[in-house]
Amino acid sequence: MPTPDTFTPPERVLMGPGPSNAAPEVLQAMSNPLVGHLDPAFIGMMEEIKTMLRSVFQTKNEMTFPVSGTGSAGMEFCFVNLLEPGDEVLIAINGVFGTRMADVAARCGAIVTRVESPWGQIIEPAQIQDALAQASNPKLVAVVHAETSTGVENPVAEIGKVVASSGALFLVDAVTSLGGIPVRIDEWGVDAVYSGTQKCLSCPPGLSPVSLSERAVKLATSRGRQVQSWYLDVNLLAGYWGEERVYHHTAPISMNYALHAALRLILDEGLENRWRRHQNNHLLLKAGLDAVGLTLSSQAGYQLPQLNAISVPAGVDETAVRMKLLNDFNIEVGAGLGPLKGKIWRVGLMGETSSRENVRLLLSALCQCLNECGRSVDANAALTATA
Ligand SMILES: *Cc1c(COP(=O)(O)O)cnc(C)c1O
Protein backbone atom coordinates (compact mmCIF):
# COMPACT_ATOMS: atom_id res chain seq x y z
CA MET A 1 0.00 0.00 0.00
CA PRO A 2 1.40 3.47 -0.88
CA THR A 3 1.86 5.87 2.02
CA PRO A 4 -1.36 7.85 2.49
CA ASP A 5 -1.25 11.60 1.85
CA THR A 6 -0.84 13.97 4.76
CA PHE A 7 -4.15 14.11 6.60
CA THR A 8 -5.91 17.43 6.12
CA PRO A 9 -9.11 17.67 8.17
CA PRO A 10 -12.10 19.57 6.75
CA GLU A 11 -12.86 22.86 8.53
CA ARG A 12 -15.99 22.11 10.48
CA VAL A 13 -18.08 24.29 12.72
CA LEU A 14 -18.43 21.96 15.70
CA MET A 15 -21.95 22.54 17.00
CA GLY A 16 -22.54 19.09 18.41
CA PRO A 17 -22.27 17.67 21.95
CA GLY A 18 -18.44 17.98 21.86
CA PRO A 19 -15.73 18.41 20.88
CA SER A 20 -16.40 22.10 20.33
CA ASN A 21 -14.08 24.27 18.25
CA ALA A 22 -10.81 24.91 20.05
CA ALA A 23 -9.66 28.50 20.44
CA PRO A 24 -6.85 29.40 18.00
CA GLU A 25 -4.61 30.34 20.96
CA VAL A 26 -5.12 26.84 22.34
CA LEU A 27 -4.15 25.11 19.09
CA GLN A 28 -1.14 27.38 18.81
CA ALA A 29 -0.03 26.51 22.35
CA MET A 30 -0.14 22.81 21.41
CA SER A 31 2.38 23.31 18.63
CA ASN A 32 5.05 24.60 21.03
CA PRO A 33 8.19 22.48 21.46
CA LEU A 34 8.09 19.74 24.06
CA VAL A 35 9.83 19.92 27.42
CA GLY A 36 10.27 17.04 29.85
CA HIS A 37 7.45 16.22 32.25
CA LEU A 38 9.77 16.90 35.21
CA ASP A 39 11.34 20.02 33.70
CA PRO A 40 11.16 22.90 36.21
CA ALA A 41 9.48 25.02 33.51
CA PHE A 42 6.76 22.39 33.08
CA ILE A 43 6.32 22.04 36.84
CA GLY A 44 5.85 25.80 37.10
CA MET A 45 3.15 25.61 34.44
CA MET A 46 1.45 22.72 36.28
CA GLU A 47 1.19 24.91 39.38
CA GLU A 48 -0.45 27.67 37.31
CA ILE A 49 -2.92 25.14 35.87
CA LYS A 50 -3.87 23.99 39.39
CA THR A 51 -4.38 27.59 40.54
CA MET A 52 -6.46 28.53 37.50
CA LEU A 53 -8.55 25.37 37.80
CA ARG A 54 -9.39 26.26 41.41
CA SER A 55 -10.72 29.62 40.18
CA VAL A 56 -12.77 28.06 37.41
CA PHE A 57 -14.20 25.36 39.73
CA GLN A 58 -14.73 28.05 42.44
CA THR A 59 -12.96 25.93 45.04
CA LYS A 60 -10.14 26.09 47.56
CA ASN A 61 -9.58 22.31 47.27
CA GLU A 62 -5.84 21.57 47.33
CA MET A 63 -6.41 18.35 45.32
CA THR A 64 -7.38 20.00 42.03
CA PHE A 65 -5.57 18.95 38.84
CA PRO A 66 -6.19 17.48 35.37
CA VAL A 67 -6.32 13.67 35.08
CA SER A 68 -4.65 12.39 31.89
CA GLY A 69 -7.54 11.08 29.83
CA THR A 70 -10.94 12.26 28.64
CA GLY A 71 -13.98 13.09 30.79
CA SER A 72 -14.75 9.42 31.34
CA ALA A 73 -11.30 8.97 32.93
CA GLY A 74 -12.24 11.70 35.43
CA MET A 75 -15.48 9.83 36.11
CA GLU A 76 -13.56 6.61 36.86
CA PHE A 77 -11.01 8.56 38.92
CA CYS A 78 -13.73 9.81 41.26
CA PHE A 79 -15.50 6.48 41.68
CA VAL A 80 -12.47 4.17 42.01
CA ASN A 81 -10.86 6.37 44.65
CA LEU A 82 -13.97 6.85 46.78
CA LEU A 83 -15.74 3.49 46.52
CA GLU A 84 -14.95 0.06 47.94
CA PRO A 85 -16.89 -3.14 47.30
CA GLY A 86 -20.16 -3.25 49.22
CA ASP A 87 -20.51 0.54 49.53
CA GLU A 88 -24.04 1.84 49.03
CA VAL A 89 -24.38 4.62 46.42
CA LEU A 90 -27.26 6.62 44.93
CA ILE A 91 -26.96 7.62 41.29
CA ALA A 92 -29.27 10.13 39.59
CA ILE A 93 -30.06 8.90 36.09
CA ASN A 94 -31.83 10.95 33.42
CA GLY A 95 -29.62 10.35 30.41
CA VAL A 96 -26.51 8.66 29.02
CA PHE A 97 -24.03 9.99 31.54
CA GLY A 98 -25.97 9.09 34.69
CA THR A 99 -26.29 5.61 33.19
CA ARG A 100 -22.51 5.51 32.64
CA MET A 101 -21.85 6.55 36.26
CA ALA A 102 -24.02 3.66 37.48
CA ASP A 103 -22.03 1.26 35.28
CA VAL A 104 -18.70 2.55 36.64
CA ALA A 105 -19.90 2.43 40.28
CA ALA A 106 -21.18 -1.14 39.84
CA ARG A 107 -17.79 -2.17 38.43
CA CYS A 108 -16.24 -0.87 41.68
CA GLY A 109 -18.40 -3.41 43.50
CA ALA A 110 -20.75 -0.77 44.90
CA ILE A 111 -24.42 -1.45 45.59
CA VAL A 112 -26.13 1.02 43.27
CA THR A 113 -29.58 2.55 43.82
CA ARG A 114 -30.80 4.25 40.63
CA VAL A 115 -32.83 7.44 41.11
CA GLU A 116 -34.43 7.95 37.70
CA SER A 117 -36.36 10.54 35.72
CA PRO A 118 -37.44 10.31 32.07
CA TRP A 119 -34.79 11.57 29.65
CA GLY A 120 -35.30 15.30 29.12
CA GLN A 121 -36.67 15.84 32.65
CA ILE A 122 -34.68 16.84 35.73
CA ILE A 123 -33.97 14.84 38.86
CA GLU A 124 -35.97 16.55 41.61
CA PRO A 125 -34.21 17.15 44.95
CA ALA A 126 -37.19 15.40 46.62
CA GLN A 127 -36.40 12.21 44.66
CA ILE A 128 -32.90 12.20 46.17
CA GLN A 129 -34.32 12.97 49.61
CA ASP A 130 -36.74 10.02 49.40
CA ALA A 131 -34.03 7.66 48.16
CA LEU A 132 -31.69 8.76 50.97
CA ALA A 133 -34.45 8.15 53.53
CA GLN A 134 -34.89 4.60 52.24
CA ALA A 135 -31.17 3.79 52.08
CA SER A 136 -29.53 2.09 55.04
CA ASN A 137 -26.03 3.59 54.94
CA PRO A 138 -25.52 5.67 51.78
CA LYS A 139 -21.88 6.61 51.27
CA LEU A 140 -22.17 8.72 48.12
CA VAL A 141 -24.69 10.49 45.89
CA ALA A 142 -23.73 11.19 42.27
CA VAL A 143 -25.43 13.60 39.84
CA VAL A 144 -24.67 14.85 36.33
CA HIS A 145 -24.87 18.65 36.31
CA ALA A 146 -25.31 19.20 32.56
CA GLU A 147 -26.81 16.09 30.89
CA THR A 148 -25.33 16.41 27.41
CA SER A 149 -27.54 13.64 26.04
CA THR A 150 -30.77 15.55 26.75
CA GLY A 151 -29.92 19.25 27.22
CA VAL A 152 -31.16 19.36 30.82
CA GLU A 153 -29.50 21.04 33.82
CA ASN A 154 -30.06 19.11 37.02
CA PRO A 155 -30.59 21.35 40.10
CA VAL A 156 -27.23 20.53 41.64
CA ALA A 157 -27.23 23.33 44.24
CA GLU A 158 -30.57 22.17 45.69
CA ILE A 159 -29.61 18.49 45.54
CA GLY A 160 -26.37 19.40 47.34
CA LYS A 161 -28.35 20.70 50.32
CA VAL A 162 -30.27 17.44 50.58
CA VAL A 163 -27.08 15.40 50.35
CA ALA A 164 -25.29 17.55 52.95
CA SER A 165 -27.95 16.90 55.55
CA SER A 166 -27.51 13.13 55.02
CA GLY A 167 -23.75 13.14 55.57
CA ALA A 168 -23.09 11.27 52.31
CA LEU A 169 -20.37 12.36 49.89
CA PHE A 170 -21.54 14.41 46.91
CA LEU A 171 -20.11 13.65 43.45
CA VAL A 172 -20.88 15.87 40.44
CA ASP A 173 -20.20 15.41 36.72
CA ALA A 174 -19.30 18.89 35.43
CA VAL A 175 -18.00 17.79 32.02
CA THR A 176 -20.37 19.96 29.98
CA SER A 177 -21.13 22.59 32.64
CA LEU A 178 -17.63 23.88 33.50
CA GLY A 179 -16.92 27.10 31.61
CA GLY A 180 -20.49 27.36 30.26
CA ILE A 181 -22.78 27.83 33.28
CA PRO A 182 -22.07 28.55 36.97
CA VAL A 183 -20.22 25.73 38.76
CA ARG A 184 -19.59 26.48 42.46
CA ILE A 185 -17.89 23.49 44.04
CA ASP A 186 -17.34 24.81 47.58
CA GLU A 187 -20.66 26.65 47.85
CA TRP A 188 -22.58 23.54 46.74
CA GLY A 189 -20.75 21.18 49.11
CA VAL A 190 -19.35 19.01 46.31
CA ASP A 191 -16.78 16.42 47.47
CA ALA A 192 -15.71 15.11 44.08
CA VAL A 193 -16.07 16.66 40.64
CA TYR A 194 -14.68 15.92 37.19
CA SER A 195 -14.87 17.79 33.90
CA GLY A 196 -13.48 17.48 30.37
CA THR A 197 -11.47 19.76 28.14
CA GLN A 198 -13.44 19.49 24.88
CA LYS A 199 -16.82 20.91 25.88
CA CYS A 200 -17.09 24.46 27.27
CA LEU A 201 -13.35 24.80 27.93
CA SER A 202 -12.72 24.82 24.16
CA CYS A 203 -9.68 22.55 24.16
CA PRO A 204 -9.17 19.30 22.30
CA PRO A 205 -10.28 16.17 24.21
CA GLY A 206 -7.57 14.62 26.36
CA LEU A 207 -7.59 15.93 29.93
CA SER A 208 -10.14 15.70 32.71
CA PRO A 209 -9.87 18.41 35.37
CA VAL A 210 -10.87 16.99 38.77
CA SER A 211 -11.19 18.30 42.31
CA LEU A 212 -11.58 16.47 45.64
CA SER A 213 -12.63 18.00 48.97
CA GLU A 214 -10.49 17.42 52.06
CA ARG A 215 -13.02 14.90 53.28
CA ALA A 216 -12.83 12.96 50.00
CA VAL A 217 -9.02 13.03 50.03
CA LYS A 218 -8.94 11.76 53.60
CA LEU A 219 -11.22 8.89 52.65
CA ALA A 220 -9.18 7.99 49.56
CA THR A 221 -5.88 8.07 51.44
CA SER A 222 -7.01 6.11 54.49
CA ARG A 223 -9.09 3.39 52.84
CA GLY A 224 -8.50 -0.21 53.83
CA ARG A 225 -8.33 -1.70 50.37
CA GLN A 226 -5.97 -0.52 47.61
CA VAL A 227 -7.58 1.49 44.81
CA GLN A 228 -8.37 -1.02 42.03
CA SER A 229 -6.86 1.21 39.29
CA TRP A 230 -3.12 1.86 39.33
CA TYR A 231 -3.36 4.62 36.70
CA LEU A 232 -6.08 6.59 38.48
CA ASP A 233 -5.03 6.05 42.12
CA VAL A 234 -5.00 9.51 43.71
CA ASN A 235 -2.43 8.30 46.25
CA LEU A 236 0.06 7.82 43.41
CA LEU A 237 -1.07 10.80 41.28
CA ALA A 238 -0.62 13.13 44.26
CA GLY A 239 3.06 12.22 44.24
CA TYR A 240 3.43 13.77 40.79
CA TRP A 241 0.97 16.69 40.98
CA GLY A 242 1.90 17.44 44.65
CA GLU A 243 5.16 18.49 46.31
CA GLU A 244 7.26 15.40 45.63
CA ARG A 245 7.19 15.40 41.80
CA VAL A 246 7.88 11.71 41.50
CA TYR A 247 7.34 9.98 38.18
CA HIS A 248 4.03 8.17 37.88
CA HIS A 249 3.11 8.40 34.20
CA THR A 250 4.33 10.82 31.53
CA ALA A 251 1.98 13.80 31.55
CA PRO A 252 0.56 14.60 28.07
CA ILE A 253 2.77 17.67 27.68
CA SER A 254 1.01 19.36 24.73
CA MET A 255 -2.46 18.84 26.20
CA ASN A 256 -1.33 20.59 29.37
CA TYR A 257 -0.06 23.50 27.25
CA ALA A 258 -3.53 23.58 25.68
CA LEU A 259 -5.36 23.55 29.01
CA HIS A 260 -3.10 26.31 30.35
CA ALA A 261 -3.94 28.49 27.33
CA ALA A 262 -7.67 27.69 27.57
CA LEU A 263 -7.88 28.52 31.27
CA ARG A 264 -6.09 31.83 30.67
CA LEU A 265 -8.69 32.72 28.04
CA ILE A 266 -11.54 31.87 30.42
CA LEU A 267 -10.14 33.97 33.27
CA ASP A 268 -9.37 36.85 30.90
CA GLU A 269 -12.95 36.81 29.63
CA GLY A 270 -14.22 36.50 33.21
CA LEU A 271 -16.47 33.69 34.44
CA GLU A 272 -19.57 35.87 34.73
CA ASN A 273 -19.09 37.28 31.22
CA ARG A 274 -18.58 33.82 29.83
CA TRP A 275 -21.74 32.46 31.46
CA ARG A 276 -23.68 35.47 30.19
CA ARG A 277 -22.36 34.95 26.65
CA HIS A 278 -23.55 31.32 26.69
CA GLN A 279 -26.97 32.34 28.02
CA ASN A 280 -27.42 35.16 25.49
CA ASN A 281 -26.56 33.00 22.50
CA HIS A 282 -28.93 30.30 23.75
CA LEU A 283 -31.76 32.84 24.00
CA LEU A 284 -30.92 34.09 20.51
CA LEU A 285 -31.09 30.55 19.11
CA LYS A 286 -34.42 29.99 20.87
CA ALA A 287 -35.84 33.18 19.37
CA GLY A 288 -34.79 32.06 15.89
CA LEU A 289 -36.22 28.57 16.34
CA ASP A 290 -39.44 29.99 17.73
CA ALA A 291 -39.85 32.18 14.63
CA VAL A 292 -40.01 29.07 12.44
CA GLY A 293 -42.05 26.90 14.80
CA LEU A 294 -39.21 24.76 16.13
CA THR A 295 -38.99 23.93 19.85
CA LEU A 296 -36.58 22.52 22.40
CA SER A 297 -37.49 19.13 23.86
CA SER A 298 -35.90 19.51 27.31
CA GLN A 299 -37.84 20.56 30.41
CA ALA A 300 -38.69 24.29 30.42
CA GLY A 301 -36.81 26.25 33.04
CA TYR A 302 -33.90 23.78 33.04
CA GLN A 303 -32.64 24.04 29.47
CA LEU A 304 -28.86 24.15 29.10
CA PRO A 305 -27.58 27.15 27.13
CA GLN A 306 -24.64 25.12 25.83
CA LEU A 307 -26.65 22.09 24.63
CA ASN A 308 -29.90 22.70 22.79
CA ALA A 309 -32.05 19.64 22.08
CA ILE A 310 -34.23 20.63 19.12
CA SER A 311 -37.30 18.45 18.49
CA VAL A 312 -37.30 16.99 14.98
CA PRO A 313 -40.59 18.07 13.36
CA ALA A 314 -43.00 15.27 12.43
CA GLY A 315 -42.31 13.80 8.99
CA VAL A 316 -38.72 15.10 8.79
CA ASP A 317 -35.84 12.62 8.38
CA GLU A 318 -33.49 13.42 11.30
CA THR A 319 -30.41 11.82 9.70
CA ALA A 320 -30.92 13.42 6.29
CA VAL A 321 -30.98 16.94 7.75
CA ARG A 322 -27.97 16.27 9.97
CA MET A 323 -25.93 14.86 7.07
CA LYS A 324 -26.90 17.80 4.87
CA LEU A 325 -25.70 20.23 7.54
CA LEU A 326 -22.36 18.42 7.57
CA ASN A 327 -21.89 17.88 3.86
CA ASP A 328 -23.31 21.12 2.48
CA PHE A 329 -22.49 23.54 5.31
CA ASN A 330 -19.59 21.94 7.25
CA ILE A 331 -21.68 22.15 10.42
CA GLU A 332 -21.64 19.24 12.84
CA VAL A 333 -24.64 18.76 15.14
CA GLY A 334 -25.37 15.70 17.29
CA ALA A 335 -28.03 13.02 16.98
CA GLY A 336 -30.33 11.89 19.78
CA LEU A 337 -29.24 8.89 21.84
CA GLY A 338 -31.22 6.05 23.45
CA PRO A 339 -34.93 6.90 23.72
CA LEU A 340 -34.29 10.24 21.95
CA LYS A 341 -32.73 8.64 18.85
CA GLY A 342 -34.33 10.11 15.71
CA LYS A 343 -36.32 12.61 17.83
CA ILE A 344 -33.86 15.43 18.48
CA TRP A 345 -30.85 17.26 17.09
CA ARG A 346 -28.32 18.25 19.73
CA VAL A 347 -26.94 21.69 18.96
CA GLY A 348 -23.95 22.62 21.08
CA LEU A 349 -23.07 26.25 21.76
CA MET A 350 -20.03 25.50 23.85
CA GLY A 351 -17.08 27.74 24.65
CA GLU A 352 -15.51 29.15 21.51
CA THR A 353 -18.45 27.90 19.42
CA SER A 354 -20.97 29.98 21.37
CA SER A 355 -21.23 33.09 19.21
CA ARG A 356 -23.94 35.16 17.62
CA GLU A 357 -22.45 34.44 14.16
CA ASN A 358 -22.65 30.69 14.72
CA VAL A 359 -26.25 30.90 15.94
CA ARG A 360 -27.25 32.74 12.77
CA LEU A 361 -25.19 30.43 10.57
CA LEU A 362 -26.89 27.40 12.08
CA LEU A 363 -30.38 28.87 11.77
CA SER A 364 -29.92 29.80 8.15
CA ALA A 365 -28.37 26.42 7.25
CA LEU A 366 -30.94 24.43 9.22
CA CYS A 367 -33.82 26.23 7.51
CA GLN A 368 -32.30 25.54 4.10
CA CYS A 369 -31.85 21.84 4.94
CA LEU A 370 -35.42 21.59 6.24
CA ASN A 371 -36.74 23.17 3.04
CA GLU A 372 -34.81 20.62 1.01
CA CYS A 373 -36.08 17.80 3.22
CA GLY A 374 -39.76 18.50 2.69
CA ARG A 375 -40.59 20.87 5.54
CA SER A 376 -41.10 24.43 4.42
CA VAL A 377 -39.81 27.08 6.84
CA ASP A 378 -39.04 30.76 6.38
CA ALA A 379 -35.30 31.28 6.89
CA ASN A 380 -35.79 35.05 6.78
CA ALA A 381 -38.11 34.89 9.77
CA ALA A 382 -35.43 33.09 11.78
CA LEU A 383 -32.77 35.62 10.77
CA THR A 384 -35.02 38.61 11.43
CA ALA A 385 -35.77 37.29 14.91
CA THR A 386 -32.03 37.14 15.62
CA ALA A 387 -31.02 40.37 13.90
C1 LIG B 1 -18.79 14.13 27.18
C2 LIG B 1 -19.27 13.77 28.55
C3 LIG B 1 -18.66 12.78 29.36
C4 LIG B 1 -17.59 11.88 28.85
O5 LIG B 1 -16.47 12.54 28.45
P6 LIG B 1 -15.47 11.90 27.35
O7 LIG B 1 -14.51 13.00 27.18
O8 LIG B 1 -16.28 11.59 26.15
O9 LIG B 1 -14.86 10.69 27.96
C10 LIG B 1 -19.15 12.59 30.63
N11 LIG B 1 -20.17 13.29 31.12
C12 LIG B 1 -20.81 14.23 30.38
C13 LIG B 1 -21.95 14.98 30.97
C14 LIG B 1 -20.37 14.49 29.08
O15 LIG B 1 -21.01 15.41 28.34
Mutate to test the pocket of ligand 1, among 20, 97, 307 (most ligand atoms within 8 A of CB): 97
Closest ligand 1 atom, residue 149 Cα = 15
Tally Cβ neighbours within 10 Å of residue 276.
13
User: According to the model, what pLDDT value does residue 1 have?
Assistant: 87
User: According to the model, what pLDDT value does residue 158 have?
Assistant: 98
User: According to the model, what pLDDT value does residue 374 have?
Assistant: 87
Closest ligand 1 atom, residue 208 Cα = 7
User: According to the model, what pLDDT value does residue 131 have?
Assistant: 98
- The parts of the chain modelled with pLDDT lower than 50 are none
User: According to the model, what pLDDT value does residue 152 have?
Assistant: 98
Distance, CA of 130 to CA of 140 (rounded, Å): 15
The per-residue pLDDT for range 249-295, each reduced to its tens digit, is 999 999 999 999 999 999 999 999 999 999 999 999 999 999 999 99
Q: Identify the structural domains of the chain with CATH numbers, from first to last.
A: 24-267 (3.40.640.10), 271-385 (3.90.1150.10)
**Pocket around ligand 1 at a 6 A CB cut-off:** 18, 70-72, 97, 144, 146, 148, 173, 175-176, 196, 205
Mutate to test the pocket of ligand 1, among 100, 175, 178, 200 (most ligand atoms within 8 A of CB): 175
Tally Cβ neighbours within 10 Å of residue 86.
9
The per-residue pLDDT for range 107-141, each reduced to its tens digit, is 999 999 999 999 999 999 999 999 999 999 999 99
What string of DSSP letters covers 79-137? HHHH--TT-EEEEEESSHHHHHHHHHHHHTT-EEEEEE--TTSPPPHHHHHHHHHH-SS
Question: CB under 8 Å to 100, separation ≥6 — which residues?
Answer: 72, 75
Distance, CA of 81 to CA of 102 (rounded, Å): 15
Ramachandran angles phi, psi of 210, nearest 5°: -130, 160
Q: In the chain, which ranges are E strands?
A: 13-14, 63-68, 88-93, 111-116, 138-144, 146-147, 152-153, 169-173, 192-194, 207-212, 307-311, 331-332, 334-335, 344-348
Q: Are 318 and 363 in contact (CB under 8 A)?
A: no
Mutate to test the pocket of ligand 1, among 14, 70, 193 (most ligand atoms within 8 A of CB): 70
Ligand 1 centre to CA of 175 (Å) is 6
